[in-house]
Amino acid sequence: MKIKQIQSFNVRGEDGRVYFIVKVSTNTEHYGLGEVGIKGWGSAIMSAVDHLSELLIGEDPWESEKLWQKMFRGGFFPADTVYSCAISAIDIALWDIKGKSIEKPVYKLLGGPVRDKVISYPHVQGMNIPDLLESAKKHIDDGWKFLRWHQLETEPFDKNNNATFDPLKSVEKTIESFEEVRKIFGYDVQICLDVHTRLNPALTIEMCKELEQYKPFFIEDPARSENPDIYRLLRKKISLPLAAGEQWGSKWPFRQVIEEDLIDYARIDLCIVGGLTEALKITHWAETHYIDIVPHNPLGPVSAAACVSLCMASTNIGVQEMPRKPGLIDNKLFPKQIEWDDGYSWCPDVPGLGVDFNIEEAERCAIKPSRSGGNLYRPDGSFTNW
């Protein structure tokens, strides 16, 4: 079996969500699917996929470690984040092919299941406290045991996707959101807060002191990601569990925070970090430090399947991000998806990842890659992290 073709599909589903899917075909009936982590860099990543395909056509898809090394180091200069996204999608697709070729689910190739299902958390929505509470109630009523929301914006986005973000007001609103959720729903439900790298360390530290009484499960991305050394300061000053890593494009940025025990949860993004091959190494590395993984999964069904496959085969799992119930939307594009019930997700016992992709539908709803995400500005007009 040899790799015959690698294709990229940038598509918009019926629900309006955009997906960047990579399909790796072989000279047999077997093919694999992967997903790209940073859709907003689609044009550059699409070119990177095309470039990497030059290295892979004619290769054996079972030799995924060799091919990963070749993609990451083959140009002498190590891959940057654009290339790591391309590598991630291709690598996930190779694992999908391997599973299909021997009629085994991917999680069995990763060591076999250590659990039947994976506890998951959704994205609670709301620009203000009343809307957030309404969304929280709906998710709890649906059976979710965890809730997650991010650092609250202080103004709605305009037609150009711009908004004003006042850090001081956002901290005040975020503390109030915890107070109200605990008052109404109690402490049986777990809460995860994503600071989304929007605050400076001083504000994050002060906010976390106020949040201690509400017992969050973790505080995610409490600082910008460029310098992992910042977690030395945060570890000393914050008495809450810390989660980080979704913006890191390989195992190397995880080195310091794992080896110095600076985080409690590793937010590995399989569609950015280098696919299942790299994520498996980070997961086992974290296990030696009793650090659990919480895979970052804000994307689509292929990403979800890859994350849950890893979680089913790994012992050190905190919780799995699952923005919405699998199978709820865009079933024309993805006619087969993983399973969900009562707050848990799992991959079915079928070959590969357990996800399929309708190529005819993908060609019908193909779109040109474009930048995604909003623009946040401080009250003084300066740009800040989205």
Arithmetic mean of pLDDT over the chain: 96
Residues 144 and 288 occupy one common structural domain = yes
**Is 363 part of any domain?**
no
Split at pLDDT 50, 70, 90, the class of 320 is very high
Look at residue 108 in the predicted model and tell me its pLDDT.
98
Together in a domain, 120 and 82: no
pLDDT of amino acid 127: 83
Is the same domain home to 265 and 250?
yes
Residue 153 confidence class, pLDDT cut points 50, 70, 90: confident
Q: Does 77 share its domain with 114?
A: no
**pLDDT tens digit sequence for 65-89:** 999 999 999 988 899 999 999 999 9
Do 116 and 84 share a domain, yes or no?
A: no
Of the three residues 104, 136, 158, the one that is the final residue of a domain is 104
Does the residue 137 lie in any domain? yes
Q: In this structure, are 87 and 14 located in the same domain?
A: yes
What is the mean predicted confidence (pLDDT) over 266-294?
A: 98
Rounded mean pLDDT of 167-195?
A: 97
Q: Is residue 343 part of a domain?
A: yes
36 lies in the same domain as 115 = no
136 in the same domain as 60: no
Say if residue 192 is in the same domain as residue 76: no
At 386, the pLDDT band (50, 70, 90 cuts) reads: confident
- Residue 154 — φ and ψ, nearest 5°? -110, -10
Domain count, the chain: 2
Between CA 278 and CA 291 the distance in angstroms is: 16
Instruction: Let me know if residue 362 belongs to a domain.
Output: no
Final residue belonging to a domain, choices 104, 127, 155: 104
pTM of the model: 0.97
Residue 361 forms part of a structural domain: no
Per-residue pLDDT, averaged over 99-110, amounts to 98
Average pLDDT, stretch 320-332?
95
How much is the pLDDT for 42?
86
For the cut 80, the answer to whether the pLDDT of residue 271 exceeds it is yes
- Report CA torsion sign: 324, 139, 342, 182: positive
Nearest to 290 by CA among 246, 259, 256: 259
Residue 340 is part of a domain; what is its CATH number? Answer: 3.20.20.120
Residue 373 has pLDDT above 80, yes or no: no
Mean pLDDT score, 322-333: 95
| Lowest-confidence pick of 21-35, 143-157, 300-314 | 143-157
- The CATH code of the domain that includes 44 is 3.30.390.10
**pLDDT tens-digit map of 209-262:** 999 999 999 999 999 999 999 999 999 999 999 999 999 999 999 999 999 999
Does 356 reside within a domain?
Answer: no
78 and 147: one domain? no
Note the pLDDT of residue 154: 80
Q: In which domain, by residue range, is 45 found?
A: 3-104
How many CB atoms within 10 Å of residue 356?
A: 17
* pLDDT computed for residue 199 by the predictor: 96
Last residue of a domain, one of 80, 104, 128: 104
Per-residue pLDDT, averaged over 335-355, amounts to 97
At residue 270, does pLDDT exceed 90? yes
pLDDT class of 148 with cuts at 50, 70, 90: very high
Same structural domain, 172 and 319: yes
372 located within any domain:
no
What pLDDT score was predicted for residue 213? Answer: 98
CB neighbourhood size of 87 (10 A): 28
pLDDT of 193 > 90? The answer is yes
Judge if 156 and 9 occupy the same domain.
Answer: no
Asked if residue 360 is part of any domain, the answer here is no
Q: What percent of the chain clears pLDDT 70, i.e. is strictly above it?
A: 100
